[in-house]
Structure 1
Amino acid sequence: MSVYVIAIGGTGTKIVEAVCHLAAAGIYTQGEPIPKIEILFVDPDKGNGNLKEADGAIATYQNCTKNIDQGINPTLNWWMQTKLEFLGLWTPFQKADEFRLRDVFKYDDYNGNKEVIRHLFDVLYTEKERDVLLKDGFLGRPAIGSAIMTQLRQNVATNESWKELIGKIDSDLKTEANNPPQVFLCGSIFGGTGASGFPTLGRLIAKELDNPETGNLLRKVKLGGLLMLPYFRFPSKEDKEAVFARSEEFILKTEAALRYYGTQDLKFDTIYLLGMPTMTNVEKFSKGGSDQRNDPHVLELYAGLALRDFIFTPKPNERQVILLSRNKDNEISWDDVPDKDEVRRKLTNAVRFAYIWLSRIVPGLEHAKTKLGEVDFALKFYDRESIKKSGEWDRINAIKVWCEAYLKWLGILHANGIGLRWFNVTAFYNQGNLIIDRSNFPDLVDKGLDREINIRIRDLSKKDLQGIDNGTTGLAKALYKVLSEKSI
C-alpha cells in the first residue's frame, strides 16, 4: 500500500522530519500490509535549511532500515519496517532564469494594445512584489504563490513530476486493488508556499484523478490534507516596505484562508487542522535559504500522528474534519495522544533501544573488537573475524546515527517550553547535548520505573528472529525484541 505525502513549503518539510522519526518507531505499521510512504517536496526554495534537515532525516532512516531486513517476528513486525521513498523536489519555477513574478508572467512584453494587462498587474501587485526574487520562496505572500502555482495547472500535461505521480497512483490501483493508494498533502495555512500550494495542488490532483480518461480514480483513492495554523513567530524586521513573511500578519491571513476554504469544494475526504493557543518564539528571522532552520515542534509530531490516523481510517463517505484538544493548558501528556497505549509503547521502546545502543552496545562492541570474550552479548552475534569487518561497523554506526537523531529530536520537543511531558528528558538531553550515562536508563520514562540496562542485555537471544539473526542486524533485532516483550 502506497501513501503519497506531498509536503508543501517549509512547514511541510518539518512535518516530514517528524514522520521519519515516527516511522522508525513503527507508528505507521499495524500488521500487514506495511505501508510504503512516498514523499514529494514542493518548494521554490531549493536551498531551504528545513528542507535539508528533512533530507537528512530521510537519508538517516533509509540507511538504518536497510540493515533491518525482515522485521523481528510475526508479532513484532513494525520497528524500522515502514518503507520511505523520496520522490524528489518539485519547484514551481519551470525556468532557471525566471525567479520574479514579472518574468513568469512576461510583464514587460505587454505593450501597445496589451498595455491594459500591465495596468491590471499593477493593481494586483506592488512594484516590489513584481520585482522581488522568489528563489527563497514566496516570502509569506500567498497572492504571489497562488499566481505562480496556477502556471502548474496550465502546464500539467507537460510537467514530468506530476505525470509521474499520477502514473504511479494509476499503477498502484492496478497492482494493489485491495489496498488502494492514499494521497496526503500537508503544509501551513499562514505562509506563502503552503497557503498557496495546498488548495491549488489539491484541486489539480483531484482533477487528474477524477478525469474519465484516467478511469475516475478519485472514487478509489483516499485524498487527505493537513493544514498547520500559526504555531511560531519571529522578530519583526524594521523595513516595513520590503517583501518578506511577517508573523504579525499570520492570524489575519489564517482567518482569510479559513473563510476561503469554507466556501470551496476541495475534494478532500479528510482535512486536519492543527494549531496552538500560543505561538512559539523563533529567535532568528530568516526570509529563506540555508539559514531557515527551525527547531522541531510538538505540533509537527501531532501532524505525523494525523498521518497515522489518515492511513488507518477507511475512506469516508462524506468529508470529515478531525478535532483533538489537550486536557491542560500548559501540559501535553500521554492522555492527549490518539491511540495512547500503542503510540506510547512504540515511542517508548524506540527511546529505550536508542539509549541502550548508545550507552551500552556501541561501547561494548568497541571493546569486543580486541577482547570479544569479555563481552557476553557480543559473543552471541559475532565471532572474532566478523566483529572487525568494516561492513558490520558501517551497520553499527548507521544505527548509532539514527539513535542520536531520534533522542535529540525528542529532547528538543521537550525543551522548547510547550509543556510536553512524555519522557524524563533530563536523563538524556540537556541544552542541545545528549547525555549518555547508562545509570540513567531506569529513569527514561518515569524515575526508577525501568530495569537496569545489564538486565535487559542479559536477555538478548536469537530465538524467533526472522531473516538474518547474527551480526549487527541480528543484535539490533534481538535488542528491540527483548525491549518490546518486556515493556513496563
Structure 2
Amino acid sequence: MSKLYIFGIGGTGARVLKSLTFLLASGVKCNVDTIVPIIIDPDAANGDVSKTTDILRLYQNIRSKLTFDNETKNEFFKTQVESLTDNFRIKIQNSNKKFKDFIDYSSLDKNNKALTSLLFSERNLNSDMEVGFKGNPNMGSVVLNQFNQSEDFEKFASSFSQGDKIFIISSIFGGTGASGFPLLLKTIRSAGPQLNNFALLQQAQIGAISVLPYFGVKKDEDSDIEKSTFISKTKAALKYYQHGVNESVDAMYYIGDHHNKDYDNNEGSVAQKNDAHFIELASALAILNFTNSPLRSEPVVKEFGIEKDSASILFTDLNDITKDNLLKPLTQYYLFHLYTKKKLRNNLDMKFAAMLELSSAFLSSDFYGKFRLFNDQYWEWLEQMKLNERGFDPFTMEENTEDIFDSVKGIKLKNGSFLGPKNYERYTEYLSKSSKSIKKASNIENKFFENFYITTNKLVQEK
C-alpha cells in the first residue's frame, strides 16, 4: 500500500490539511491508498491546528466502518487516513520558554552575546514562544532545528517504505512555515544512518507548496505580527528558495493572492482560528496533483491560476482541469449532506430505507452522530470560503430549499433532464432504485454510503 506523508507546518499547513480532508471525504481522486498527516507547530493550543485534528479524527472514525474492494462504487471517504503520532503532531520540545532562555542567553560570554544581539532583537530575545514565533523565521529556524531528534520524527522515518512519497505544506510570510520548510527538507534529504530507512528518505519523491500572502492582519500595537512585513519576508524567502530549495524537491508549487482580508491580530493559541479560504483548497489540490502525476526525472515548479479573475469564484471561473477535479465530487457530497440533514429522518418509511435497514436506531448511532458532526464542519468550511476574500461560492448554500438541483451556481440544468418527479422526490426515487443493487451482506454503514454515492452520481450526471 502506497502512503503519502503530508507535513503541515504552522497554521496554514493545518488549514490546508483541513481542506484536503473535506476533498477526500467528497471523493476527489487521490492516487495513494493512505495519507499520513503530520503537523509541525510549537503552539500547542493553536485553534486552527486543534480544529484540523478534530476533523481528521472524525474522518478516521467514519472511514473505519467502511470497506472498499473492486466492486465498491462508493468514493466518499475512500482514502485511508493514518495517525503516526498523538494528535497528528510532532512534539517540539521546550517551545514554551522565552527565546533567550531556550538559547541559554545568560550563560553566553560577552562576545557571543554581542553576536546574538546582531541576529536577534531585544524583542525577539524576550519573546514568549508558547504561541509560536509570531512571524519571526529567524527564531523559528533555531527552535525547529531540533525536531529531527524527536521520537515522533523517528517514527516517521521507521514507517517509511519503498514507493512512499512526501509532501510539505508551509506559508512563506510567517515564522513557523518559513523556517520549518527548509529545515525539514534538509533533514530528509541529508538523513544519515542514525535514522531508519535513511537511504529511502534521501531518494524519496518530495513535493511541496509554499503559500505566499493571501490574508492580512489588523493593526495591533501590542502584537509582534505586522502585515506590512509580509511582502519583504516573502521576497527574502523566495530568493533563498530559488537556490537552496527548488532543486531539492521533485515538484514545487507556489500560490498566493493579492485579494486579501484582514483577520483579527491573534498571535496564536486558541484564538487563532482563521476562516477557511479558497487558497487553502487550491493548495490541497496541489497535493492531489502531486500524487496523481507521473514521476518526473527533473524538478518541476508549478503555480495555480483561475480562468476568470472573479472576486467570488464559481466552478465556471476555474480552468477545465480544476473544474473537472472539483465539480462532480463536491456537488455529490453537497447533495449527500442536504438529504441526510433535511430529509432522511422523515423518510425512514421509504423503500430504500427498508432495503438498507436504515432506522431511527441507525440515526442515533455513534457512527451517524460523527458523520453529522463531520458534515456540520464541512458546511461551515463552505460558508467560510464563500464569505472570505477572495471568495469561493459555487453553491447556493440554502439548506431549506426544495430546488436542490439548482444549487450549483452558474450551471444550468440539462433540458429535459427532469421529467417526472422533481427535487427531493426524484432523489428519493433514485435512492430506492439504487438500493436494489446494494450487496445485502455489507454492513449498514457500507450500504448507506454506497447507495448515496450511486444515487448522487446519477443525479449529477443527469444534471
TM > 0.5 between the two? yes
1:59-114 CA distances to partner (integer Å, 9 max, x unpaired)?
2212222233336944x34221111123321233x237x6222222221112xxx3
Partner of 2:117: 122
Preserved contact between residue 469 and residue 475 of structure 1 (Cα < 8 Å): no
Whole-Å separation in 2 of the counterparts to 1:188 and 1:91? 20
The answer to whether the 8 A contact 1:334-1:422 is kept is yes
Structure 2 CA distance for aligned equivalents of residues 11 and 203 of structure 1: 21
Does the 8 Å contact 2:33/2:80 carry over to 1?
yes
2:428 equivalent in structure 1: 457
Which residues in structure 2 correspond to 1:341-360 (within 5 Å)?
341-360=324-343
CA distance in 2, matches of 1:390, 1:475: 10
Does the Cα contact within 8 Å between 1:100 and 1:133 map onto a contact in 2? yes
Number of the residue aligned with 1:2: 3
Shift of the 255–394 alpha-carbon distance from structure 1 to 2, 3 Å rule, reads same
**SS in structure 2 of the partner of residue 263 of structure 1:** helix
- Which string of whole-angstrom CA distances, capped at 9 and with x for unpartnered residues, describes residues 184-209 of structure 1? 01010000000000111111111117
Equivalence for 2:94:
95
1:17 is matched with: 18
**Structure 2 residue 175 is matched with structure 1 residue 192:** yes
For 1:423-473, what per-residue CA distance to the aligned partner results, in whole angstroms no more than 9, with x for missing partners? 223xx2xxxxxxx32513122114873751121212223344368546354
Deviations 1:361-418 (A, max 9, x none): 13434xxxxxxxx443322222xxx735468632332222222222221122122242
Residue 70 of structure 1 corresponds to 68
> In the alignment, is residue 481 of structure 1 matched against residue 454 of structure 2?
yes
Equivalence for 1:312: 292
How many Å separate the matches in 1 of 2:37 and 2:342?
A: 33
Which residue identity does 1:322 align to in structure 2? Answer: K
Corresponding residue for residue 249 of structure 1: 229
Is contact 1:64–1:398 with CA below 8 Å preserved after alignment? Answer: yes
CA contact (8 A) 1:381 1:471 kept: yes
Match of 1:433 in 2: none
CA contact (8 A) 2:136 2:175 kept: yes
Q: 1:468 to 1:44 in 2, by over 3 A?
A: farther
- The answer (yes or no) to whether the contact 2:98–2:129 under 8 Å persists in 1 is yes
1:253 partner amino acid: K
Is there any run of 5+ residues in structure 1 with no aligned partner, and where? 174-179, 366-373, 429-435
Residues 1:275 and 2:256 aligned together: yes
Question: How far off is 1:312 after superposition?
Answer: 0.9
8 Å CA contact 1:71, 1:477 repeated in 2 = no
Q: Distance in 1 between matches of 2:204 and 2:172?
A: 24
The TM-score, its normalising length taken from structure 1, stands at 0.84
Looking at structure 2, the residues matched to 212 and 352 of structure 1 have their Cα atoms a distance apart, in angstroms, of: 47
TM-score by length of 2: 0.88
Q: Are residues 67 and 130 of structure 1, via their aligned partners in 2, closer, same or farther at CA, if it must alter by over 3 Å? A: same
Query: Paired residue for 2:83?
Result: 86
Tell whether 2:130 aligns with 1:166. no
* Per-residue Cα deviation, 1:300-357 (whole angstroms, up to 9, x for no partner): 0001100000101122111111123223222434352534224211111111111111
Give the Cα separation in 2 of the matches to 1:91 and 1:248. 31
Structure 2 CA distance, aligned partners of 1:388 and 1:259? 60
In the other structure, the counterpart of 2:141 is 146
Equivalence for 1:176: none
In 2: Cα distance, 1:417 partner to 1:9 partner: 21
CA pair 307-467 structure 1, distance change in 2 beyond 3 A: farther
Q: Identity, % of aligned pairs? A: 25
Structure 1 position 407 matched with structure 2 position 379: yes
**2:347 counterpart residue number:** 364
Alignment RMSD, CA only? Answer: 2.5
Where in structure 2 are the equivalents of 1:26-65 lying within 5 Å?
Answer: 26-29=27-30, 34-65=32-63
Q: Kindly tell me: are residues 315 and 398 of structure 1, through their superposed partners in 2, closer, same or farther at Cα, counting changes over 3 Å? A: same
The residue type paired with residue 283 of structure 2 is A
Alignment partner, residue 407 of structure 2: 444
Change (3 A) 1:469 1:320: same
Distance 1:146 1:472, change over 3 A: closer
Could you say what secondary structure the match of 2:301 adopts?
A: strand
**Letter in structure 2 aligned against 1:269:** D
Q: Cα offset for 1:221?
A: 2.0
Q: What residue in structure 1 maps to residue 355 of structure 2?
A: 380
Inter-CA distance 349–102: structure 2 relative to 1 (3 Å threshold):
same
The equivalent of 1:334 in structure 2 is 315
1:2–1:37 CA contact under 8 A, matched in 2: yes
- Report the equivalent of 2:302: 322
Contact 1:166–1:208 (CA<8 Å) still a contact in 2?
Answer: no
What is the DSSP-based 3-state SS (H/G/I as helix, E as strand, rest coil) of the residue aligned with 1:257?
A: helix
Counterpart residue type for residue 129 of structure 2: L
Which letter does structure 2 place at the counterpart of 1:444?
Answer: S
Of 70, 91, 107, the match for 1:109 = 107
Task: Rate the CA distance shift 1:134–1:298 in 2: closer, same or farther, 3 A.
Answer: same
CA distance in 1, matches of 2:325, 2:255: 22
**Other structure's SS at 2:208 match:** strand
Letter in 2 for 1:378: A
Q: How far is the alpha carbon of 1:269 from its aligned partner? A: 0.7
What is the aligned partner in structure 1 of residue 204 from structure 2?
221
Q: What amino acid does structure 2 have at the position aligned with 1:381?
A: L
Task: State the Cα distance separating 1:55 from its structure 2 match.
Answer: 1.1
In structure 2, distance between residues paired with 1:220 and 1:467:
46
Matched AA of 2:340? W
CA contact (8 A) 1:6 1:40 kept: yes
The Cα of 1:210 is off from its aligned counterpart by 9.6
2:182 match: secondary structure: helix
1:440–1:486 CA distance, 2 compared to 1 (3 A) = closer
3-state SS of the aligned residue for 1:231? coil
1:272 counterpart letter in structure 2: Y
> Does the CA-based 8 Å contact 2:14-2:39 persist in structure 1?
yes
Conserved? CA contact 2:386–2:392, under 8 Å: yes
Give the number of equivalent residue pairs. 443
Distance 1:421 1:454, change over 3 A: same
CA distance in 2, matches of 1:340, 1:117: 56
Q: 2 CA distance for matches of 1:36 and 1:142?
A: 32
